[in-house]
Structure 1
Amino acid sequence: MIVRIMGEGQVKLADSHLAELDKLDDELLAEINADDGDGFRRTFHALLDKVRELGEPVPDDSLEPSGLILPAPGATLEEVRALLSDDGLIPSP
């Protein structure tokens, strides 16, 4: 799956990593629902860091469709809340 982090670019991520990311996504969803700004920021950055760690960068000159788009690192709790589905940011595997 190709994942785009807004403002950064794309990474190719094996589908086998989605379950690991889904755990962080579940934590993020709970923190957003509880209006826990500190928890949101910590977990959101942990999620982005994990995507960067597990993913392989896609060259900038490659035009690959993104299967998943994540907000930019500076996104606020309110901005991320507006993007959420019932499953969070990451679809359940």
Structure 2
Amino acid sequence: MPKYMIERNIPDAGHLSQQELHDISVKSCDVLKQMGPEIQWVNSYVTDDKVYCLYIAPDEDSVKQHADLGGFPVNQISQIRSTIDPTTAE
């Protein structure tokens, strides 16, 4: 199943409290439960003004639907074509 990286512009995201991050996570998980097992949230990376989320989903439309239902911003969706790490050099 394809993987997608979602870029979300969220001003001051790096200053969100643990409670705010918890609440966002709960909302995301609730929406995912409604949508069924085909779409999965793997993890997210929070920077100063953005959040990058990795999802496994059947298509880009599923990622957009999750964002719409959860009220999450989506500024860019990129399908991940390959993964590399230090072991790729071996």
TM-score interval, normalised by the smaller of the two chains = 0.3 to 0.5
If the length of structure 1 is used for normalisation, what is the TM-score? 0.34
Higher helix fraction (1 or 2)? 1
